[in-house]
Amino acid sequence: MLKIKGLVSVFNRVRSQLQSGLHPEEVESFRNQVNATIRDVEEICRRHNTTPEQLPGPSRLAYQFLKNLDLANLPVRQTETPNAATPSFRIRNVVKIGEQMAERIWQSLGALLATPSARTQLLHEMENHAATIERICQQHDQTPAVLETPSRQVYCWLKFLCVAENLATHLDTLERARKAISEHSLRPGQPIHLHLICQNAIWRRNEYRDAVVVKVNQGFLNADQSVWRAIIHAALVQRDPTNGQAIQEFTLTDDFSETLFELESFAAVTTPSTRGHVHDLDESFARVNAAYFHGQFPKPTLVWNRTLTASKFGHYQPSRDTVMLSVSLDDAKIPAYVVDFVMYHELLHKKHGAMIVNGRRLSHSLAFREDERRFAEYIQAESQLKELALKNR
């Protein structure tokens, strides 16, 4: 599958500029930047005998966002206020720490699966690493949300795995990956190491003199054995349409998006305005609160995520009381009532919580579904979201 490096970063930068508004002198260069990116993507795809619609999910959605921008009607500000893009903060060696922890988990997988004390020790180490990152950020009056992307992803990954339930699932998933690897005959003396990590790529293979390291997106946390066979075959043997389709289809599932939302929520940007390019989360909450909760519902933290999603458009994180909506909804073609429906859905998660039934976490109880159907435009909103998800496939 063709990967175009930097395309998602361009999307994030463009969206930040649109949220802040463009100075009149910036408008022409902004249009040129967007058009040049679109042309570059289409030319790269042409050279590789593919189309933008066949790019990996995040890249495809980023391209579609840029392609559909109304460049004739851009938000223009008249003040000299500088662009309020999110600042970037760097801490040395964070990425290296993440690589070392991922490698240690892979090398010690058997012991970690078999020995509770080994898992406890690993949890303590990850907690200490995450706490150190937080302390350094605090010393500089910053938060992990403004870390450079690779470092922020490592921080989110550490915090995610500091939850014992997540770590247990992570280890079980690596065991499935190890079984898939064992099905292939590889060159003697060149072991395969697999890192399940937070990254933009779906998967990446790095070949070294003494080992092959396959880095796989943490979104595959709940993928079954057939998907892992497809990933391993694509990474170690060859890419083919069948495996590519199995991998692509899983990236469009709620399981994949749910994990990405959960990861990102550990470093959500909470200080900037909730106003997006088109829609405003504060306004959406106010409408939903007034219409369905008599204006009495406790307001959670409201944030847009940074990742374009294909089929899941919201997430509620109870431990941080945060509702996060997908930037895929921040589009002029998305009616306000669709944004309100996703907001309402996530607030219902806050209201109803989750139940554990036969060891499985169930978030959509009968009472939840009954409340959900109270939304005035329930049928229309559901239809719009299904259509959007289908378009994003």
Residue-wise DSSP of 104-142: HHHHTHHHHHH-HHHHHHHHHHHHHHHHHHHHHHHHTT-
**Is the pLDDT at 361 greater than 80, yes or no?**
no
| Cβ partners under 8 Å of residue 178, min gap 6 | 109, 194
Amino acid at residue number 49: N
Query: Residue 277's pLDDT is what?
Result: 82
pLDDT, residue 280, reads 94
Predicted pLDDT at 75: 79
Q: Average pLDDT, stretch 343-365?
A: 79
Could you tell me what percent of the chain has a pLDDT over 90?
Answer: 50
DSSP bridge partners of 213: 193, 206
Contact between 235 and 241 under an 8 Å Cβ cutoff? The reply is no
CA–CA gap between residue 310 and residue 52 (Å, rounded)? 15
- Supply the DSSP string of 39-70, one letter for each residue: HHHHHHHHHTT--GGGS-HHHHHHHHHHHT--
- What is the pLDDT confidence band of residue 360, given thresholds at 50, 70 and 90? low
Using pLDDT thresholds of 50, 70 and 90, give the confidence band for residue 135.
Answer: very high
Angle at which helices 164-182 and 94-107 cross, to 10°: 60
Q: pLDDT-based confidence at 12, cuts 50/70/90? A: confident
**Which tokens sit at 217?**
């997106």
Model confidence at 355, pLDDT cuts 50, 70, 90, reads low
Q: Looking at the structure, give the CATH architecture of the domain made up of residues 268-392.
A: 2-Layer Sandwich (3.30)
pLDDT tens-digit map of 258-313: 898 889 888 876 555 688 888 999 999 999 999 999 999 999 999 998 777 777 89
SS3 track for 79-101: CCCCCCCCCCECCCCHHHHHHHH
Higher pLDDT, 29 or 98: 98
Q: Is the pLDDT of residue 377 over 90?
A: yes
Mean of the per-residue pLDDT values for the chain?
87
What is the C-alpha separation between 286 and 273, in angstroms, rounded?
15
Alpha helices (H) along 266-377? 281-292, 336-352, 366-372
Span 221-255, pLDDT tens digits: 999 999 999 999 999 888 788 888 899 889 888 88
pLDDT at 358 over 70: no
Ramachandran bin of 307, using left for φ above 0, alpha for ψ from -120 to 50, beta for the remaining angles? beta
Express each pLDDT in 31-69 by its tens digit. Answer: 888 998 999 999 999 988 899 888 877 788 888 888 888
| Mean pLDDT along residues 319-324 | 88
User: For the residues of 203-233, what is the DSSP string, one character each?
Assistant: EEEEE-SS-EEEEEEGGGGG--HHHHHHHHH
Give the residue extent of every domain in the chain: 7-67, 94-262, 268-392
